[in-house]
Amino acid sequence: MRAKLNAILLAIMILLTSGSLPNTVEAKTADVTSLASTMGKTVICIDAGHQSKGNNSKEPVAPGSKTVKPKVSSGTQGIATGKTEYKLTLEVALKLEQALQKDYKVVMIRRTNNVDISNSERAIRCNQAGADMTLRLHADGSVNREIQGMSFLYPSTDIPSTKKIASQSLEITKVLSKAVLKETQATSRGLIPRSDLTGFNWSTVPVVLIEMGFMTNRNEDMKLSEDEYQDKIVQGIKRGLDSYYKVAAKN
Ligand SMILES: [Zn+2]
């Protein structure tokens, strides 16, 4: 009886070990504790775009793709404020973390500027943390200083790697964009499908990228650095997520 039990236990051990080996290797970077303490809350992964120094080494733009792109760039810069995009995206990301913490489990890709995390790595970390969705925060830049407004990017339906997440990403984008535009009164540059973004193509969970405005437009750049305007962006995102995930309105 005892020998039989031991044999069964051994078989289970072998099964578990062989089955979970590839995951174990990849899980090195996963936020395992946050996954364990989720307690049924919706998990939002926040990726503040860019970092203090870009990394020009290349990585595949999608799993299995021969097309490569720089791992992560340093982003644009404010024409009036001189502020870098990576600083701005982190400011808003940290405020958003605060705003969401009570009702959601929040996973942060970064809390400081001095990191080196490629765009594929960012997506993979959100996947492994068990995110229900990933929100990427960015700001725009253009040689045309007149251009301003917000864009809402989501993964394209026509490439294999994001086929599974494209339609839900679009649904979230629709709700989010409506709420953020209502709150900020920003000019909308629309909802734009993208097939060329590494951070989308490596994602296995729905993902939205908000280009919060143009740092190369003097007015918008200054507005993006105002506390009050950042709070509006954050409130808009929170309202959008609340309505998509049916979290009861708090006020
Ligand atoms: Zn950017």
What's the pLDDT tens digit per position in 149-206?
999 999 998 888 899 999 999 999 999 999 999 999 999 999 999 999 999 999 999 9
Residue 236 covered by a domain: yes
| Ligand 1 centroid from CA 176, angstroms | 19
Indicate the pLDDT class of residue 246, thresholds 50, 70 and 90. confident
Q: Is 193 a domain residue?
A: yes
Specify the 3-state DSSP secondary structure of 211.
strand
**Where do runs of H (alpha helix) occur along the chain?**
2-26, 32-36, 85-100, 119-128, 163-184, 198-201, 218-224, 227-244
45-103 confidence digits (pLDDT tens): 999 999 999 999 999 999 999 999 999 998 999 999 999 999 999 999 999 999 999 99
pLDDT of amino acid 5: 54
Q: What does the pLDDT look like over 219-236, one tens digit per residue?
A: 999 999 999 999 999 999
Find the 50 Cα to ligand 1 centroid distance in Å: 6
- In a domain, residue 143? The reply is yes
Alpha carbon distance 68, 59 (integer Å): 5
186 within some domain: yes
On whether residue 106 sits in a domain, the answer given is: yes
Q: What's the structural domain count of the chain?
A: 2
130 Cα to the center of ligand 1, angstroms: 24
Residue 176: inside a domain: yes
Closest-CA residue to 131 (of 208, 238, 230, 28): 208
- The reply to whether 8 and 132 lie within a common domain is no
Classify strands 43-48 and 150-155 as parallel, antiparallel or unpaired: unpaired
Q: Higher confidence at residue 6 or residue 167? A: 167
Assign residue 238 the CATH number of its domain: 3.40.630.40
Answer yes or no: do 99 and 164 share one domain: yes
Domain membership of residue 250 (yes or no) is no
Does 249 fall in a domain? no
More confident residue, 115 or 10: 115
Residue 23 lies in domain: 1-30
**18 and 140 share one domain:** no
Instruction: Note residues around ion ligand 1 (Cβ under 5 angstroms).
Output: 49, 75, 138
Mark whether 21 and 92 lie in a shared domain.
no
Determine the distance separating the centroid of ligand 1 and the alpha carbon of 181, expressed in angstroms.
Answer: 19
- Ligand 1 centroid – CA 206 distance (Å): 19
34 pLDDT more than 50: no
